[in-house]
Structure formats: C-alpha cells, structure tokens
Structure 1
Amino acid sequence: MEKNEMWEHILGHEAQKAFLKNYLQAQERPHALLFCGAEGLGKRELAFAFAKALLCASHTGVDNCESCRLMNIEAQDCSHPDFLLVKREFNTEKNRYEDITVDQVRALISKTAFAPVMGATKVCIIDDVDCMRAEAANSMLKLVEEPPEGWVLLLIATSVNRLLPTILSRVVQLRFAPVALPLVEQKLVEQGIAPEQAAVLARLAEGSIGQALKLYEGDKQNGVAYNVLEYRKQAWAFLEALPLNMPLNYLAGRSWLDGKLQRAEAQLLVQLWQLLIRDLLLCKLQLYDRIYNIDLTDALRAQCRGWQVAGLKKALTATGEAYLALGQFVGVKVALEALALKIDEAYKE
C-alpha cells in the first residue's frame, strides 16, 4: 500500500477517493463535505479515514506520526485534540438512538473559539446529520455558513431529503452508490462466507457490504443475532405452502408466530417476503436476470405459475404496509399474522 492509499481497504467508490486525494493537495478547499448514501456502503469509514489524513503531518494517514497515533480509528480511540465528533446518543430507557439535539450543536459551536492545537486544521465529523432536530439544524446553519478559520466539517447522512436546503447549498456532496456486486461477493468470501451464499447476500444487500454482513451476522449493534439465510428458509416455506386450505390452522404451527421474535427480526422476515415476492413478479414477467435470490431461480420460476400479476402486486403492497406497521410498534404477532393472511388471499385471487 502506498503512503497516499490509506483508504484502499474500503471497497469501491474510486471517484470519491480520487476527489479526497486531490482535496488533500489543494490550496483552496471547500470547508464542508457531505458523505451521503445508503447505510453500509462505506461512507462513514471513508469519512473517518479522510479525517485522519487531514490531521496527519504528511496528509497520508499512514505515516505513524503523533496525529495518526491519536486517531486510532481501528480501536475507536480518536483522542486527537483537533478532532471533534457529534453523533446521536443512545437512550437506554427508550432503547433507541435519539436525534442530535440543539444542545449538542451549541456545545460544538462554543468550541469554535479555540484554534487548532497540533496543526493548521480542526476536523469535525457530524454523523447522522440527517437525524437532527429542527432547532439543531437551524443552529448548525450558521456554522456551515461561516466556518471558523482552519475548520473542516465532514457531514454523514443517509437521506439528503431530510437536510435543510440551505445546508445542502453550502456543502460539497459526495454521493455513495451501491458497490459492484462482484466486489461485494469477493469481500464476503474473504470474510469466510461460502461463495454461493456470498452471491445471494450481495444481491439482498443491494451492493452494500455493511448491510450484507449485517444480514449474515445479525444486528450486533442492537444485540440481535440472526442469519438471513435461515430466516429466508422460513419465508420461502410459507410461500411454497400457498394456497392455505385452513390458514389459521397452518399459522398456529409457525415458529415465527410464537411470540419470541424481536421486532428487528420480524421486520427482516417481512423484508424477505417482499424480496421473494418481488422475485416471483420478475419471474412472472420473465425478467430472470434481475432477481435477487438467484440460488432459488428454478423454484421461483415454478412457484410463480400459481400467481397472477395483480395478486403479486397486492402482496407486495401488503408487505410494505406490514413493515411500516412494525415500525410504528404494532404488535409483532398481530402484524405477521395479518400479513400472512393477506398474502394467502392475494394468491387465491
């Protein structure tokens, strides 16, 4: 690895890497960059690597200088005096992450009175900037409009639609698209995942290495362990059982209705139904090259014969409604049971 290739371990996004490399050498630089794109694409990892390079004495991020040692990203120990991080705080009582508050932004603004300590640059990462309360966003606008001398703001967002237009107009956007599927597959195989499973996971995750690993290993951050391929077996078994002669009797024996599923697991099951039904619709339309569950191609082609296009579209709508319902804290068992009955009804139309 060359000295200026400190982020080559991050998958894809060559255009974004080239821009950031040029930024490090430029005389005049934009003071605020927005890293935006779907979850799990590597934008957050690249933003931290770039922050390390900005603070590094040689602007490489790999020369083991004092700044690099203080920006120990691998150990999540970023104690550099010229590095600031604003992020959502976890509420243990509500078991969820809260939006960034105006007090957090005001605390950040209060630090603008202090000049950089170790060099000429002070770097601030604002993570999940699209999850910021309205008052906080308005307060941050002044910081983006009139940044202190030597400051660089790195904003990270999943949805730019949630950001104020006035903020968007004052930042340079780096948009992150899905990574090419072969690259994701290769990375998953390097992680010890079987090639045939890696091919499916890459497609289910839509080119997101982070999402693919989450599907395989579970949501470790929130303490939920699952393997998506095991859940997919259950989702597919239900679709193969259609039409149900005695729906309530059939559902009474399903493990996913025994009340033990956590909400995140239930949402995953609904997503898998949605993707499988989507693939059935694509097979019905003979668009075989666009399906996600490529290892089930033959089974999908056989199963789609019993469906009508209108029924598949109705079932897809039902899965979307069920996912939203689970996000609004409708009971897990109620939501899944209602969805299963709707899918069965759609099949019988």
Structure 2
Amino acid sequence: MNFASDNIVGASAQVLQALSQANAGAMPAYGGDEITKRVKARFNEVFEREVSVFFVTTGTAANALALSSAVPPYGLCVCHREAHVIDDECGAPEFFMHGAKLAGLPGVGAKLTAEGVSTYLKGLSRAVKQMPPKALSISQVTECGLVYHPDELKALGDVCREHGLSFHMDGARFANALVSLGCTPAEMTWKQGVDILSFGGTKNGCLMAEAIVVFKPELAEALDYRAKRAGQIVSKGRLISAQFEGYFADDHWYANARYANRLARLLSDGLSELPGVRLAWATQANEVFPIIPASMDKALKEAGILYHPWTELSLPAGETIGPDETLIRLVLSFASQEQDVRKLLEIARSAAPRQAAE
C-alpha cells in the first residue's frame, strides 16, 4: 500500500485510450497537428477566455519556464519558503531565470497572506543593490495540503498589481483544489489576478503532460523560444496534447480529483477519531497530514505501508511534535483503492490502544 505521492501511479485508462488513438498514422510534428490545435481551443473553453498554452513534459519545466518569462536575471521572485519551486526543483527556476533569485517567506500551512507579502515588499530597499521583486509564485494546493480560496487569491493579486509583480500559480494539483473549492478554473485564476499558471495533469491521470497557461499576453511572447531551448518542444507533440484531450473529455479530470479528495477525507476522518492522532493542517484536497504516535508509525511501516515524514516548519502557532510523535504525509490519487484506505485505518486503529495504554 503506497501513499507516498500521487505521481507514483500510471495514467488513467481514458488518457491512455486518447494517447493510443493519437499514436496512429502520421501527423505534423512540433505541435502543428490537429489534436494540439483542438486541445489549445479546449483550454480557451476551460478558462472562459483566450489563453496561450505551451505543453511541457514535467512540472519542473512548467514552473521554471513560466517564471523565466516573468522574472529578468536581475529580478526577485517571492514564494513560500517551502514552495516546490524553491525546495524541490534543484534550482531549475533560478537556472532558467538566468540568475534571478527566489525569496522564501514563512506562512502557516505553506500559505502566504496578502498582508505578509505586502509587508515584505514594502520593506525592500529600492536601491540598485537590491534585486527588484518581479513575481509572486504560490502553490495551489500548497505543500501542506491547503487551498487558497478565491478571496485570498484576489488579495494576493491586488498586492501584485500594487507592486507591479506578475502572479504565478503552481497548479500541480490544480484539479484537486478546483473541486475542493467548487469554483470554476477562471474563478481560481485570472479573475483573481493570476497572470500565468503551471497546469498539472500528471498527478491526476496523465502519463506525462503539463501545460503553461498564460493569461497576460506579454508573458507568452518568448515562451516558444524558451521551451525550445529547454528541450520542451516535443517532436511528437500530439502525444502530449492527446493526453489532455482524454483528460478533459467528459469531465474526466474533475472525476479523478473528486475521487482522490473523497478518499483523502475518508482517511482523514478515520485517523482523526483515533486516540493520540491529530491533524497538523485541515484536509482540504487529496493530502492528509496526521501527527501520529511513534508506535502507530512503527506499526504502519511494519505492515508495509509507504509514506513520507513531513517537515514541521509551517505548523500553526502553538503546535509542536512531541518526542514520541511523528508528522507524516499520506497522499491519495485517482488510482488509490478504498480498501487500502480502510486497511490503513484498521492497522492504525489496532496500534492506537497500545499507545493509549502506555
């Protein structure tokens, strides 16, 4: 039973079917095919306006290239100190920004607040020795499983407008956040001031497909060239875009995300009922972050359940992890099995009384 991530499973059957159909015959290369044209038009429908779309193979490429379009080499990109762009991409954003810098700010649950970002920006020197801020990047869902609500996004967007920053969203789990909030893609992005989006598909059913969606036209001007230099203009481009065709068809992407979020809620509710267990952060999408007794952690591992320990850096004020406790992350996907969730709960339940007795 593997709860380590939502990128450990393969693609969904519907996406694979679309990919198989696109594989037949010969079509123009490098995105000149009819499938890619159809999918780009579909993105316009999804976001209720004309957008520029660039297909890439990884989330790292999407984030790094998106930020490179918004931040010059002498500029600064503000993000959370635990954001994927600063913590988990081996410096790729800074590499593709040609020396620009990421500045990580604190925030509970890996979320930034408009007030905190504004205070930081106002405190920066305007002297030439200080790299000027050029972009804000947030993760939706955050690295601690929380979602930004539309009013929070709007407040951050307003700060960006006030200070002349481009607003980037890392949407690796975009669909999970969307169904959690019950809003439209437009309401979660450009209507709140988001200028450029890393639109994730791989974690929610695609085999290897991500997209950079640009709402601010000037940010799209050089992205074709940046993507080519990064090796992200794929010759058989239809095999990337076809995955999105299967992904969007019949709202497949919504169904996948709802399923993963439902299982996360089932797991979260079950663990929260156990003695000695509490949640570090609320379960708002497809990730669960329980603080569990060390004996329960041991029992789960001995049963062969895979997951990751998690950092305490963004815990709420007053929350601490005791010497006999562990903070872990459990992730659900479109391919997770409900029987595995119930088995994990059964094992955790059997370990909880022993901890209480001790």
Query: Same fold by TM (over 0.5)?
Result: no
Larger Rg, first or second structure (1 or 2): 1
Higher-helix-fraction structure: 1
Normalization by structure 1: what TM-score? 0.31
Higher-strand-fraction structure: 2
Determine which structure has greater relative contact order: mean sequence separation of CA pairs < 8 Å that are 6+ residues apart, divided by chain length.
Answer: 2
